[in-house]
């Protein structure tokens, strides 16, 4: 690792042989490997790795005494980190909450470096105190930067492989910007104030947009630049003796990286809360639709059938009386039979409103067309429905969400717009499906509706968000209303991706 490579060029004994008293990055990778493999094979991995480290250290000229203490240091550090994190997280740590970050700091950033420094400082030949602090800070910095980066890249490799092109562009822009500003802060002559001011915006960007993986990766880049500048005699960390360059760099990187890791975790927690709330809304709306479907089925299959049978029995009784029927009873029974028939029709209409079977049987276009026709007949208005390139086969959740939006929007328009002419358009697009419901009525003030928290708009927005869509409501007093919805197709529902933009051009999610 660069921290260790720099330390390897530092003469701690003022004339003694140069040797690194800092563990190599392979030690961090070993702790990561142990977290990803079954614990029963840890002894095999540990023995193989430590033997490899020992052979390498002996080949570069380290004394057997130094190698021995390095083996103790590596063993203590790796086992403390791996066992502690495995116990605390049950596997590879996921730094997605303040509690998780606190546990990670305890075992990896504090206890493991302490265990390592106790034995690693014995290789400094008399400068135990100074060597202990340098060893501790080096290991703490490694666990604060390198290990979260490794865990993040490995754990999120699938998400990055399937990330959008703008996401890659943003990441590249962050890296380039950090490298350019970091170069002028750490490699050319500069002050510590300039270094802080130049790096904070990029660390903030990394924390809010790329999480702990972004912060740790940015910190590694800063470590590279800071060490490179110090080794070549440039930057804000130049001291009369090269050994004095190490602690300032380590302390600077530790105190710069740690707060932004906390910030990244807080942002991740907020995203998780939003996801949990969205999942709870999936669940509630799904349960609501299931209950509507159940009631609609019971109304149609049970109540309507029983009313039909009752009407049939009344008619049969009327026909069976012949000439002996009491005076006036014929008329009364006919009234009862007609009321039963009307009631059956009303129940059937209620069943259809709760969950239209046509949506399941014939699809979205037929269901929307049927509903527009039904509204026209019931309310005496004109609803012009137009369809263009709508796919015949749509995901059930997409069809249901769009149909509910049509229901809500068209009923509100008929009730409040003051107009008798409405437009409903469905159109397939290269990226998905677009719906528009329009009227030229009295409109309304968007700000007032937002403050009032109208349930109709909230319901429509929630349904569209569940299918990763976007909804835009345009209205103003005496200017009519247009509700425009775009739903992407081919994307799994209810997936809220950090930093992703699913709204498309011209769309916004209304509060």
Q: Distance between CA atoms of 103 and 106, rounded to whole angstroms?
A: 5
Asked whether the beta carbons of 358 and 296 are under 8 A apart, the reply is no
Q: Identify the pLDDT of residue 135.
A: 83
Q: Identify the pLDDT of residue 13.
A: 33
Instruction: Please state, in angstroms and as integers, the Cα–Cα distance from residue 34 to each residue in 91, 238, 369, 477, following that order.
Output: 9, 38, 60, 65
Q: Distance between CA atoms of 108 and 100, rounded to whole angstroms?
A: 12
Q: Distance between CA atoms of 311 and 350, rounded to whole angstroms?
A: 19
Q: Distance between CA atoms of 108 and 139, rounded to whole angstroms?
A: 9
Asked whether the beta carbons of 4 and 22 are under 8 A apart, the reply is yes
Residue 465 host element (H or E): helix 455-466
Mean pLDDT in consecutive groups of 10 residues from the start of the chain, 511 residues: 40 34 61 88 90 86 86 90 91 87 92 89 76 84 87 82 86 91 82 82 91 90 85 74 64 86 88 73 66 64 69 70 62 72 68 68 89 87 92 86 88 87 91 90 76 69 85 87 89 40 32 31
Q: Distance between CA atoms of 121 and 22, rounded to whole angstroms?
A: 9
Alpha carbons within 13 angstroms on the beta-carbon side of residue 407 total: 17
Q: Identify the pLDDT of residue 237.
A: 77
The helix/strand/coil state of 126 is: coil
Asked whether the beta carbons of 445 and 476 are under 8 A apart, the reply is yes
Q: What's the token pair of residue 368? A: 């929307």
Burial class (CB in 10 A: 0-12, 13-18, 19+), 474: middle
Asked whether the beta carbons of 21 and 73 are under 8 A apart, the reply is no
Asked whether the beta carbons of 249 and 137 are under 8 A apart, the reply is no
Q: Distance between CA atoms of 21 and 122, rounded to whole angstroms?
A: 9
Q: Identify the pLDDT of residue 114.
A: 93
Residue 432 neighbours by CB distance under 10 Å: 21
Asked whether the beta carbons of 177 and 237 are under 8 A apart, the reply is no
Residue 127 neighbours by CB distance under 10 Å: 16
Q: Identify the pLDDT of residue 226.
A: 84
Which region holds residue 492: left if phi is over 0, alpha if psi is between -120 and 50, else beta? Answer: beta
Domains (range + CATH), the chain: 1-158 (no CATH), 362-511 (3.30.565.10)
H-helix segments, 299-363: 304-321, 329-354, 357-362
């Amino acid at each position: 690792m660069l921290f260790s490579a720099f330390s390897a060029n530092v003469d701690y004994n003022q004339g003694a042989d140069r040797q690194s008293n800092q563990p190599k990055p392979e030690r961090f990778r070993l702790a990561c490997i142990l977290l990803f493999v079954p614990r029963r094979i840890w002894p095999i991995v540990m023995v193989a790795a430590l033997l490899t480290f020992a052979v390498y250290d002996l080949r570069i000229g380290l004394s057997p005494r130094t190698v021995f203490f390095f083996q103790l240091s590596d063993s203590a550090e790796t086992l403390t980190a791996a066992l502690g994190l495995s116990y605390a997280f049950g596997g590879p740590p996921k730094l997605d909450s303040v509690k998780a970050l606190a546990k990670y700091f305890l075992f990896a950033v504090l206890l493991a470096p302490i265990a390592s420094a106790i034995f690693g400082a014995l290789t400094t030949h008399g400068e135990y105190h100074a060597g202990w602090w340098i060893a501790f800070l080096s290991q703490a910095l490694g666990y604060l930067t390198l290990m979260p980066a490794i865990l993040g890249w490995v754990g999120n490799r699938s998400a990055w492989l399937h990330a959008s092109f703008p996401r890659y562009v943003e990441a590249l822009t962050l890296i380039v910007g950090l490298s350019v500003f970091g170069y002028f802060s750490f490699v050319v002559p500069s002050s510590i104030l300039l270094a802080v001011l130049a790096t904070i915006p990029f660390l903030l960007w990394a924390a809010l947009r790329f999480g702990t993986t972004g912060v740790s990766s940015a910190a590694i880049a800063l470590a590279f630049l800071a060490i490179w500048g110090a080794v070549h005699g440039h930057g804000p960390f130049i001291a009369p003796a090269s050994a004095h360059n190490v602690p300032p760099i380590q302390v600077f990187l530790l105190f710069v990286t740690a707060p932004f890791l906390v910030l990244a975790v807080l942002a991740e927690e907020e995203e998780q809360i939003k996801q949990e709330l969205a999942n709870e809304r999936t669940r509630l709306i799904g349960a609501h639709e299931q209950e509507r479907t159940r009631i609609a089925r019971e109304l149609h299959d049970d109540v309507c059938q029983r009313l039909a049978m009752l009407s049939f029995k009344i008619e049969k009784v009327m026909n069976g009386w012949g000439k002996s029927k009491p005076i006036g009873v014929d008329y009364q029974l006919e009234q009862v039979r007609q009321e039963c028939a009307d009631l059956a029709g009303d129940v059937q209409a209620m069943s259809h409103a709760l969950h239209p079977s046509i949506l399941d049987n014939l699809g979205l276009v037929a269901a929307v067309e049927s509903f527009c026709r039904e509204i026209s007949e019931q309310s005496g208005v004109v609803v012009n429905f137009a369809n263009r390139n709508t796919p015949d086969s749509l995901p059930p959740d997409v069809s249901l969400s769009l149909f509910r939006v049509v229901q809500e929007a068209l009923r509100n328009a008929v009730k409040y717009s003051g107009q008798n002419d409405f437009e409903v358009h469905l159109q397939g697009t290269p990226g998905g499906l677009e719906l528009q419901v329009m009227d030229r009525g009295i409109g309304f003030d968007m700000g007032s509706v937002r403050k009032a928290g109208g349930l109709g708009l909230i319901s429509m927005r929630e349904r569209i968000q569940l299918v990763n869509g976007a909804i835009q409501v345009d209205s103003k007093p005496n200017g009519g209303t247009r509700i425009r919805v775009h739903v992407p197709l081919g994307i799994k529902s209810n997936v809220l991706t950090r930093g992703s933009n699913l709204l498309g051009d011209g769309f916004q999610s209304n509060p």
